Amino acid sequence: MKITTKQQQRYRRHIRFRSRVQGTSERPRMSVYRSLTGMYVQLVDDTNSKTLASIHSKTIKTNVDAGERKGKTAVSYILGKQIGEKAKELGIISIVFDRGGFTYQGRVQALAEGARDAGLKF
């Protein structure tokens, strides 16, 4: 019997999803990585192999209202709002959401809600 770790399972889910999704310059891919200590988000143009914008949860300003969210979920929501604002500055309004093999709940969901509240469409 082959034993797979949670990291291997997540990586397989991520590779399976990436085979179907590709970002363009008009509609870049929002790539999310969630670690225990923070979150990383990038807007990636896969056709030109360029990162258009990136942000890390350690570099955000936490004085933004996150509603009733607390802790890391609130930080993720603020991160989504700030990457949405960066995307608007670049003239991007529509994206493809790449959750990186993580389940769409908790911090990943809060990040997506923050980006939607900032005006991004996916």
- At residue 66, the pLDDT reads 76
Indicate the fold that domain 6-117 takes in CATH. Nucleotidyltransferase; domain 5 (3.30.420)
Task: Return the bridge partners of 98, or none.
Answer: 31
Residue extents of the structural domains in the chain: 6-117
- At residue 53, the pLDDT reads 94
- At residue 1, the pLDDT reads 65
Averaged over successive runs of 10 residues, the pLDDT of the chain (122 residues) comes to 85 90 88 93 93 90 76 91 93 93 93 94 90
Helices (H) and strands (E) in the chain, counts: 3, 4
**Gap between the Cα atoms of 69 and 27, Å rounded:** 29
- At residue 121, the pLDDT reads 93
